[in-house]
Structure 1
């Protein structure tokens, strides 16, 4: 039986979604944009001038971009090999691994930071065990430093990267490998000439998602280092809540520039993906 849906019914079904997008995306976005051009005297560009001339804020952008890029690259490399290994298991085992990965991807924010503090903090479980056993592997490691932040960022990037890369690997058909083998190609040649070029657009897209995910992370970094490490997300939070004086206008300007940075990364990713696909 063919069911004909009128335009009025379509609009009625989409209305809740449109209202949700309007209230929780467009309205906050417009408010943030308008606020970034305001101060007590009215319209001004002073907030953006402050952002672009303040060395401390620029350092926050540098730290966030560096941390995001490195964590995304490491997570991507680890996941590429991990998914390749997972694909060698049977389908039921793969499904169980994906379920576990999906559950792990929801473990982030303050609970994740607390878990790492319990395990690797100054009085953490592994720290005390290593000291008791005379192992000095953690003697020079501080969870509350850049290295600790990088470790946490990599941890919450891995499940997301695996969930995004698994369908890409799954798209590599067995018939292609068999055809390449019949033509005399080795496994290495297959991946270099066929597998990786086909997967490259998806890998680039995954990297852009991981980069954006890390740039917007706040709760884990704040719970671990408070305001001791200069990141853009932490600076925005500090300006809104007002450690000394609240400056929501400056926070909005930083958030707008952060959004522009993330959108630029996504656009570069789309350009790279389209260019790669044209070559294929």
Structure 2
């Protein structure tokens, strides 16, 4: 009787030095992003949060946070919130109308490409150049102001308008709020499936019913999320407001600048507390934006 042959398992190959020293190259592409976020976002935010709870001697204190209840600081937060709300609501409505017109309005393709190109540039145009542009256009001796007065006999400043006021700053913010809305909401409008309109028409729905029962519910989360993002964008803007109004309009970013760099109101730790309050407001706004965007993506996949 032949003996059973026992087959020995093949020995596993020894791990090569190349495999043992394998470098995760997949992470190299995003490493600059994480480094940038660490150096210019995470570490500065952590520094100001720590400074908000310290005094000049480096000791822990809640005085800076308690000082945020001062009437002048509360008024600064309130006017900043009002300007941010006004510019975000108006910017969202006007930007939505423009986006719908270029996507579903039957306009030529070059109008859409030109509008999106301009919106991408204008959404980043702010600071001193934007302030100068509005002063040269709607200032007391601005081009539009002079033309309205000389041609139509309308003196907008005699009617109560002032570029250095609440509505003047809100109008200036709209220059970059409207294009930002167009850039963000256009993909959501593109995501509206043509089959939805055909199905609604087959079922006998009118165009108004289709927009009221299908389009608006689908776009509503994207619209609200983008409007919240516009609010955060306006709430943290300082360069345009400071270059345009100086210290005549007491908004939080200008008050923060005065506390950290000013000669009279120099109190860096109170400035850190002001910045901490701004981080809380903008952070909550971004959390709601992400939540609304996640809800809208469920429909637009």
Fold match by TM threshold 0.5: yes
Distance 1:246 1:59, change over 3 A: same
The answer to whether structure 1 residue 230 and structure 2 residue 260 are counterparts is: no
- Kindly report the root-mean-square deviation, in angstroms, between the aligned alpha carbons of the 2 structures: 2.3
1:201–1:277 CA contact under 8 A, matched in 2: no
Q: How does 1:112-151 map to 2 (within 5 A)?
A: 112-136=130-154, 138=156, 139-140=158-159, 141-151=161-171
Q: How does 1:219-258 map to 2 (within 5 A)?
A: 219-258=239-278
Give the Cα–Cα distance (whole angstroms) in 2 for the partners of residues 273 and 158 of structure 1. 19
Give the Cα–Cα distance (whole angstroms) in 1 for the partners of residues 65 and 241 of structure 2. 25
Query: Could you tell which deviates more after superposition, 125-134 or 144-153?
Result: 125-134
Q: Which position in structure 1 is the counterpart of 2:224?
A: 204
Q: CA deviation at 1:234?
A: 0.7
Runs of 4+ in 1 over 6 A off after TM superposition: 273-280
Q: Which position in structure 2 is the counterpart of 1:192?
A: 212
Give the Cα–Cα distance (whole angstroms) in 1 for the partners of residues 273 and 229 of structure 2. 23
Q: Which position in structure 1 is the counterpart of 2:5?
A: none
Give the Cα–Cα distance (whole angstroms) in 2 for the partners of residues 271 and 11 of structure 1. 27
Give the Cα–Cα distance (whole angstroms) in 2 for the partners of residues 255 and 80 of structure 1. 31
Distance 1:178 1:159, change over 3 A: same
2:87–2:173 CA contact under 8 A, matched in 1: yes
Give the Cα–Cα distance (whole angstroms) in 1 for the partners of residues 149 and 215 of structure 2. 46
Query: Could you tell which deviates more after superposition, 264-273 or 245-254?
Result: 264-273
Any idea what SS the aligned residue of 1:38 has?
A: coil
Q: Which position in structure 1 is the counterpart of 2:63?
A: 46
Query: Could you tell which deviates more after superposition, 88-97 or 169-178?
Result: 88-97
Give the Cα–Cα distance (whole angstroms) in 2 for the partners of residues 81 and 116 of structure 1. 24
Give the Cα–Cα distance (whole angstroms) in 2 for the partners of residues 246 and 278 of structure 1. 49
Residues 50-92 of structure 1 deviation map (CA, whole Å, 9 limit, x = unaligned): 112x100010110011111111111111122211211222334
Any idea what SS the aligned residue of 2:205 has?
A: coil
Give the Cα–Cα distance (whole angstroms) in 1 for the partners of residues 102 and 28 of structure 2. 44
Task: Indicate which of 106, 111, 119 corresponds to 2:124.
Answer: 106
Gaps of 5+ in 1: none
Q: CA deviation at 1:43?
A: 1.5
The TM-score, its normalising length taken from structure 1, stands at 0.90
2:116–2:183 CA contact under 8 A, matched in 1: yes
> Which has more helix, going by share of residues?
1
Distance 1:100 1:278, change over 3 A: closer
Q: Which position in structure 1 is the counterpart of 2:281?
A: 261
The TM-score, its normalising length taken from structure 2, stands at 0.84
The answer to whether structure 1 residue 91 and structure 2 residue 116 are counterparts is: no
